[in-house]
Amino acid sequence: MDCSVEGKVAFADGNSYHFATVDAALAFAACVKSSGNPAQCAATHGSTSRVKLEDVQAQEEAERREDDGPAP
């Protein structure tokens, strides 16, 4: 499973996982890449919070379709 880290935040499976230290975030990423289980890795490495990421591109496309609706 793909996982990336920026500072104390790791991104995996459509979520951001926040950690108290960069080392914890890096350990989480290594765990996710080897096990493929972000929830278990987050608990193991002390994630302080998890945030579901929004699909901004899909939202923008949906808004565009609404704006381009049938002409009156």
Please report, for the chain, the start and end positions of each structural domain, with discontinuous segments joined by +: 3-67
Tokens of 4: 């990336």
Neighbours of 47 (CB within 10 A): 22
pLDDT band at 26 (very low <50, low <70, confident <90, very high): very high
- pTM here? 0.75
Contact 10, 21 (CB under 8 A): no
SS3 27: helix
Which has the closest alpha carbon to 10: 47, 62, 60?
Answer: 47
What mean pLDDT value characterizes the chain?
91
% of the chain exceeding 70 in pLDDT: 94
